[in-house]
Amino acid sequence: MKFDGVLFFPVTPFTAEGAVDVDLLKAHISSRLPFGPGGVFPACGTGEFHALSIDEVRTIVTAAVEVVAGKVPVVAGAGGPLGHALAAARAAEEAGADALLVLPPYLVTGPTDGLVAYTEAVANASGLPVIVYHRGNARFTAASMARLAANPKVIGFKDGLGDVGLAQEIVAAVRAAGREDFAFFNGLLTAELTQGAYRGLGIPLYSSAAFAMAPEIAKAYYDAYMAGDEDRRNALLQGFYAPLVRLRDQTPGFGVSLIKAGLRLGGLAVGSVRPPLVDPTEEQLVQLKSILAKGYELAGR
């Protein structure tokens, strides 16, 4: 499976009554496709997987598959309690997804052998290939990733931990296992801020929550990144991404909350985040609006 472009993690819009707004979800995804995402990842972290029922996962992935219509891969989230993860994997397959992103297990921290077994259980729950998400209580070693790379259904690795030394070891171990087809991508929050370093590790792809909120800005960064235009890339980093990260770090969970708030500021009524996340304050919304304005200016919109 090949990914070519920014990896797009759509939000999950909710109605005023708290239900998934399917029509708005389709509009959200459809409006981003012209900006050339390399893949669409519905019902994952930015899509508030932690707060979704299995029926909602099925609804969201079905809508994404319908809109994307085979243009790029659709990768759905599966994780949390093992039973929930297995059910999510089956629901995503029924909905027509192309692959799964295996999110961390719920609450407990098991040994590496347990993480490998968890990943394999999710992989065995459907016919879909899986991408490992290295984050939180799902911390893999180079040896464990080499073991997983022996399974042809494991096709990728997303680093959300930020340990660059370990990430380098994992890339080397998977390559040594003969998996030249493996997809590696940077999954840190606001990954654009660290992607210059990750490219040097042999991790050329990255996920972008900002793409969901402001695709013009995210695409301008990606184009500069691919062209080696460091002046333009750094201008976007300093003028948009760094201030966004400073605002994000004010409140836990804002990696999702700010994206939905930015969409609302842009006129897409995607609703609030579900608990335990919280929406920005009025003061924070003013800051976000200013940051977005600067980003659009730098992107030439």
Q: What is the pLDDT of residue 78?
A: 98
Token couple for 225: 């990144």
- What value does the mean pLDDT of the chain take? 97
Listed by start position, the domains of the chain span 7-229
| CB of 9 closer than 8 Å to CB of 207 | yes
CATH class of this structure's domain 7-229: alpha beta
Mean pLDDT, rounded, for 280-285: 98
First to last CA, the chain: 33
Mean pLDDT, rounded, for 271-287: 98
DSSP secondary structure code for residue 79 in this structure: E
1: confidence class by pLDDT, cuts 50, 70, 90: confident
Token couple for 201: 């590790």
Q: Are strands 154-159 and 130-134 parallel, antiparallel or unpaired?
A: parallel
| CB of 92 closer than 8 Å to CB of 126 | yes
C-alpha distances in Å from residue 216, one per residue of 213, 293, 298: 9, 12, 10
Helix residue ranges, H only, the chain: 22-32, 54-68, 82-95, 112-124, 142-149, 164-176, 195-200, 209-213, 215-227, 230-236, 242-248, 254-265, 282-299
301: confidence class by pLDDT, cuts 50, 70, 90: confident
C-alpha distances in Å from residue 68, one per residue of 11, 26, 62, 206: 15, 9, 10, 20
15: confidence class by pLDDT, cuts 50, 70, 90: very high
Can you say whether the dihedral through the CA atoms of 50, 97, 194, 141 is positive or negative? positive
pLDDT at 108 over 80: yes
Count the Cβ atoms, other than its own, within 10 Å of residue 2: 9
| Residues 191-207 pLDDT 10s | 999 999 999 999 999 99
Q: What is d(CA 301, CA 296) in angstroms, rounded to the nearest whole number?
A: 5
Q: What is the pLDDT of residue 196?
A: 93
Q: What is the largest CA-CA distance in the chain?
A: 52
Q: What is d(CA 92, CA 272) in angstroms, rounded to the nearest whole number?
A: 24
Can you say whether the dihedral through the CA atoms of 176, 126, 83, 7 is positive or negative? positive
- Percent of the chain beyond pLDDT 90? 97
Q: What is d(CA 150, CA 110) in angstroms, rounded to the nearest whole number?
A: 21
Mean pLDDT, rounded, for 63-83: 98
pTM here is: 0.96
Q: What is d(CA 265, CA 3) in angstroms, rounded to the nearest whole number?
A: 30
Q: Closest Cα to residue 3, out of 44, 48, 42, 37?
A: 37
Q: Closest Cα to residue 158, out of 103, 118, 99?
A: 103
Amino acid identity for residue 56 in this structure: E
Q: What is the pLDDT of residue 212?
A: 98
Q: What is the pLDDT of residue 107?
A: 85
Mean pLDDT, rounded, for 66-82: 98
126: confidence class by pLDDT, cuts 50, 70, 90: very high
Q: What is the pLDDT of residue 213?
A: 98
Amino acid identity for residue 137 in this structure: N
Catalytic residues: 133, 158
